[in-house]
Every structure is written in structure tokens, then in C-alpha cells.
Amino acid sequence: MRYWFVLFLSAFWCLSVYSQNKTGKEPLFGKGKETYTVKSNALKGAVFYLVSGHGGPDPGCIGRYQGKELHEDEYAYDIVLRLGKALLERGAKVYFIIQDSKDGIRDQAILNNRKTETCMGKAIPLNQIERLQQRCDAINRLYRQDKSTYKRAIFIHVDSRSRNKQTDVYYYYAPKSKYGKHLADALCRTFRAKYNRHQPGRGFDGTVSSRNLYVLKNTIPVAVFLEVGNIQNARDQKRLVIADNRQALANWITEAIVADYKK
């Protein structure tokens, strides 16, 4: 009896290790980076719709750094790819609503602007309302297909303010969205804890608030909208141009999502 029990435990352990270390491939991550490894089941059963702001004919806001232009859509897209990979590594199902077959995860400081982004293969309209509605329609269509009980839309943007206005990451959720607020609060708590740990004494001024944004109002799943910094501010630009900082943003967002999912 004990022999068979040991065999059962051994088989269960092998199956668990195998399930947590299987590999997948996502071509959007780019040449040499398309393969990922599922390292845990922390987000097994969760579904995410990831949206980087602007794209296609609309670069979003533009800043200047060392004589070069910084385009919002390129940095938001790189952060979204890194976030998506981190979520996949934890067993989640991920949809990239905005896609660019030319640009994968990039480690350069200056991410050159392209107009090759699509909304899941469809050309992105220049008209703002048409552009926003297109990505809302894509999310809602996928939402209706998925059976998961935990489905979240994440929108990543970069803000533009006066050059002397340094901002921390801040978070929006749809008015009256109980679970949107839960996730936004989890994100804010996680970021505050990270800053307190890595930059003690700096403080963290990120805020959580409801806002009647078009994409929050017109998508079905619980959603949060993140502004990751001021593209005009020199300090905030370091959050964007340093690849390790873009990765840190993705990692911290993932950590907050895992905490929210567990609850």
C-alpha cells in the first residue's frame, strides 16, 4: 500500500512540475524572445485583454529625450508585451488587442516609431472614436467567448503634462466598478510597497480614481487604465527609456494582479 502511495505522489509531482514548466510561443514577442516558460499556475484560469494606447496612425503623446522623440504608443506597447509574457508565465490566457508583427520586446532606450500596429490584424482608424470602439469591440467579442470567471482588461498609456510635472503611476477604473476598484487598489498598494522598498524615503504619489473614459465605459470585462508617467518629464522618462524599468513596471503589475486574483 505504501509503495503505491509513493508511486502516486511521485507521479503527481512529475505531472505538477511538467505542467508548470511547459513552454509556449508568442511571435509578437519578437525574434529570439518568442518562447516563454510557464513557471507557475498562479493565474491558471484567468483571462486578460491587454491594450496599449494609440497605435497605427496615432502615436499618442510625444516627448523629447536627448534630441530624440519618444512616442507614447511604442513604450506602452513594449510594456504590454512584457506584461503579457509575465502573465503567460503564470498560466494565464492573454490576448494582445493591439499588435505589431514588426516590433517585439525591445531593449533599446529609443523605440523608433512605426505605424504598423493593428487591432488584432485590422487596420487602426485615425478617427478617435472609431479607434477606441474598434478595440472595445474586439475585447467584448473575446469576452463573450471565454468561460473564465476572472477576466480583466488592462489599458496602458503614457501621460503628457508640463515638463516640470513629475508623476507617479496612477490608476483609473470605471465608475461603480467594484472589482475594477479592487484591482486598481491592489496595483497602487503594490507600487507603493515597491517604492518604499527600493527607494525608501522617496514616497509614492500614485492615485486611484474612477473616470468615465470611453474604453472603461464601453468594455464588458472589469478593467483598469494605467498612466505610467509623464512623457515630458526627465525623471519620468527614465521609467520609459530604461528597459529594466519597463520590465519592472510589467513585473509589479503582474504581482498586483496575482494578489487580486487570489482574493
Mean pLDDT of 74-90: 98
For residues 28 and 117, what is the distance between their CA atoms, to the nearest angstrom? 11
Dihedral in degrees, nearest 10, Cα atoms 50, 51, 52, 57: 140
Q: Which of 158, 154, 206 is nearest to 180 (CA)?
A: 154
Is pLDDT at 74 greater than 90 in this prediction? yes
Q: What is the pLDDT of residues 99-133, one digit of tens each?
A: 999 999 999 999 999 999 999 999 999 999 999 99
Backbone angles phi, psi at 169, to 5 degrees: -65, 135
Q: In this predicted structure, what is the pLDDT of residue 144?
A: 98
Q: What is the pLDDT of residues 241-258, one digit of tens each?
A: 999 999 999 999 999 999
Helix (H) or strand (E) holding 50: strand 46-52
Is pLDDT at 5 greater than 50 in this prediction? no
Is pLDDT at 12 greater than 60 in this prediction? no
Is pLDDT at 54 greater than 70 in this prediction? yes
Q: In this predicted structure, what is the pLDDT of residue 263?
A: 87
Hey, is 135 helix, strand or coil?
helix
Burial zone of 175 (CB within 10 Å; 0-12 exposed, 13-18 middle, 19+ buried): middle
Is the pTM above the cut of 0.85? yes
Mean pLDDT of 36-43: 97
Structural domains in the chain plus CATH codes: 23-262 (3.40.630.40)
The long-range contacts involving 189-193, CB below 8 angstroms and separated by at least 24 positions, are 189/256, 190/252, 190/253, 190/255, 190/256, 190/259, 191/252, 191/256
Hey, is 94 helix, strand or coil?
strand
Helix axes 243-262, 72-88, angle to 10 degrees: 50
Q: Which of 209, 246, 210, 204 is nearest to 228 (CA)?
A: 246
Q: In this predicted structure, what is the pLDDT of residue 18?
A: 42
Question: What's the pLDDT band for 239 if we cut at 50, 70, 90?
Answer: very high
H helices present in the chain, as ranges:
2-20, 72-88, 128-145, 178-198, 214-217, 234-241, 243-262
Residues 6+ apart with CB under 8 A from 248: 194
Q: In this predicted structure, what is the pLDDT of residue 20?
A: 57
For residues 245 and 46, what is the distance between their CA atoms, to the nearest angstrom? 26
Do 168 and 206 contact (CB within 8 A), yes or no?
yes
Hey, is 117 helix, strand or coil?
coil
Mean pLDDT, the chain, whole residue set: 93
Do 107 and 100 contact (CB within 8 A), yes or no?
no
